[in-house]
Amino acid sequence: MPRAIRTVEGHDVTHNSEQCHALDFVPLTLHKTSDGKRSADNKMIEYFNNLYKSIDLNERYEWDIPFDCPIKLPLEAMSNYHKNKYLKLNLREKLFEYESLSPHYWVIQNWGGIKSFKRNQNNDEKIKKFYGELRRQKLSRNSFSTISSLSKVSSFCDCHNYFIYDARAIFALNWIIFKCESPDTQKLFPQPIGRNSIINKYDLGTIVNLSNKNFSYYNLNEAYFQYCKLIKKINLMVCPSEEAFVLEMLLFVTSVKEIAEDISETIKININ
Band of pLDDT at residue 27, cut at 50, 70 and 90? very low
Q: Of 22, 18, 42, give the one whose Cα is nearest residue 30.
A: 42
Q: What is the overall mean pLDDT for the chain?
A: 86
In tens, the pLDDT along 71-111 reads 999 877 689 999 999 999 999 999 988 778 999 999 999 99
Q: Are 169 and 32 in contact (CB under 8 A)?
A: no
Average pLDDT over residues 50-55: 97
DSSP state of 187: -
Average pLDDT over residues 170-195: 95
C-beta neighbour count of 119 within 10 angstroms: 15
Q: What's the CA gap between 253 and 60, in Å, rounded?
A: 7
Band of pLDDT at residue 12, cut at 50, 70 and 90? very low
194-198 long-range Cβ contacts below 8 angstroms, 24+ apart: 194/148, 194/166, 194/167, 194/168, 195/167, 196/167, 196/168, 196/255, 196/256, 198/255, 198/256, 198/260
Give residue limits of the domains in the chain: 4-18+74-157, 40-60+165-266
Q: What is the pLDDT of residue 6?
A: 31
pTM of the model: 0.86
pLDDT beyond 50 at 66:
yes
DSSP state of 268: -
Q: What is the rounded radius of gyration, in angstroms, for the C-alpha atoms of the chain?
A: 19
Q: What is the pLDDT of residue 39?
A: 53
Per mean pLDDT, which of 34-38, 41-45, 73-77 is the most reliable?
Answer: 41-45
Amino acid type, 155: S
Q: How far is CA 99 from the centre of its chain?
A: 27
Phi, psi dihedral angles at 116 (to 5 degrees): -75, -15
Average pLDDT over residues 226-251: 97
Q: What is the pLDDT of residue 13?
A: 36
Neighbouring C-alpha atoms within 13 Å toward the C-beta of 159: 19
| Residues above pLDDT 90, as percent of the chain | 73
pLDDT beyond 80 at 20:
no
Q: What's the CA gap between 110 and 97, in Å, rounded?
A: 18
| Residues above pLDDT 70, as percent of the chain | 85
Q: Are 254 and 186 in contact (CB under 8 A)?
A: no
Average pLDDT over residues 222-250: 97
Give 260's contacts (C-beta < 8 A, 6+ positions apart).
Answer: 198, 199, 201, 202
